[in-house]
Amino acid sequence: MELPQLQLPWFAQNRPKLVHALRMTASSLAAFILAELLGLPQAFWAVITALIVTQSNVGGSLKAALDRFAGSLAGAIYGSAIAFAVPHTDGLTKAAALVLAVAPLSFMAAFSAGFRVAPITAIIVLLSATGSTLGPLGFATDRVLEVGLGCAVAILVSVLVIPARASRGVLETAAEMTRLLADQLETLALPDEQAQARMNELVVRTRRTLSRLETLVGEAARERRSRLTDMPDPEPLLRTLMRLRHDVVMLRRAVGEPEHEVLREQAASSWMSVARTGASILRGLADSLSTGQPPESTNAMADAVSTYKAAIDGMRRAQQTRHLPTDTLWRLFGTGFALEQFRRNLDDLVERAADFAVRR
């Protein structure tokens, strides 16, 4: 009887999720053991905090720990102050103290996500049965210690147990977005209904990838400030990719609609060449970001853009543009302008990829 083979591709595909689950389990167990050794009265708060703060990468854990600890500290201090200032022995006085405690903290939480836990902590300090036994100050102190322990354990586990750096995630996500932009350029050169449907899908995926990249860049910045990575600042890379995405949007508006065929009839060859050249260079840059290899420097995009402009100039000299509608002329010359901007930003992306390759 043959044993079933282990599905290694499944494990490889889900490795980040499995590692994250392992870190969450390790941080929860470590927080529980330390809380028990320190004799904290409510060890479960340390365990819950460690579980929540442990994120998929070190930068995310740092942000979650800072937000959690700052919010808990603010809620504990303010909740204790209200408990001392407003006697709350019956339902009416408890309701009044609750309003005084929750309203200001909720207003602050509306402006800063780090304070979302502050109203919860204040409520626990005011209404918990344990708080009435230990007193507001003692209960608030224990609460801050338990949350602080959970935050510290989560950060240590994120750094020590199969650490995942947000800076590495930035490069992988940037490479993914670069490939999506390449797919959009190639799809623009195929004027059919299926290509239009595929373009709509690519636009949604690109928007989601950009949102994920923005989050990772913020987390990578915290890693740099904490001296946990020596990778270059990812902000310039993000700005460059955002400009390239805007360039592709402009190109899509100019030539993406199937009912406008002028670029494909009058300048079809040069347009398809420049679109495919740009897509090829983008794919090469994506590979460079993924592998850390220095990108190749080439003038292929500049030559392709020059060829397109020459084709448009030839149409003008042959007076083929004289009787074209204004909208069609905008598409012809607007595409040339967008391509020139795209070329400049593409050169900038080459420099950004080279910076990361050197530091890696």
Which amino acid is present at 77? I
SS3 (DSSP) at 324: coil
Mean pLDDT for 25-41 is 91
Residue 250 has pLDDT above 80, yes or no: yes
Residue 101 has pLDDT above 60, yes or no: yes
Residue 25 has pLDDT above 80, yes or no: yes
Name residues whose C-beta falls within 8 Å of residue 58's C-beta, 6 or more positions apart in sequence: 155, 158, 159, 163, 164, 165, 166, 219, 223, 228
Mean pLDDT for 333-345 is 86
Q: Domains (ranges, CATH) in the chain?
A: 17-160 (no CATH), 166-359 (1.20.58)
Measured distance CA(239)–CA(190) in Å, rounded: 29
Measured distance CA(270)–CA(204) in Å, rounded: 28
Mean pLDDT for 105-117 is 84
pLDDT, tens digit, for every residue of 204-225? 999 999 999 999 998 888 888 8
- Predicted confidence at residue 320, as pLDDT, reads 65
Burial 313-342 (b: 16+ CB within 10 A, else e): eebeeeeebeeeeeebeebbebbbebbbeb
Q: What is the pTM of this model?
A: 0.74
DSSP for 17-59 reads HHHHHHHHHHHHHHHHHHHHHHT-TTHHHHHHHHHHH--SSHH
- Predicted confidence at residue 198, as pLDDT, reads 86
8 Å CB contact between 205 and 248: no
Which DSSP letter does residue 128 get? -
8 Å CB contact between 76 and 121: yes
Residue that the structure tokens 């690109």 belong to: 206
pLDDT, tens digit, for every residue of 120-172? 888 888 877 555 566 667 778 888 899 999 999 999 998 888 777 778 889 99
Report the Cα 192 to chain-centroid distance in Å.
33
Structure tokens at 172: 């992988």
Structure tokens at 213: 């990249």
Q: What rounded mean pLDDT belongs to the chain? A: 83
pLDDT, tens digit, for every residue of 181-204? 999 998 887 766 677 788 889 999
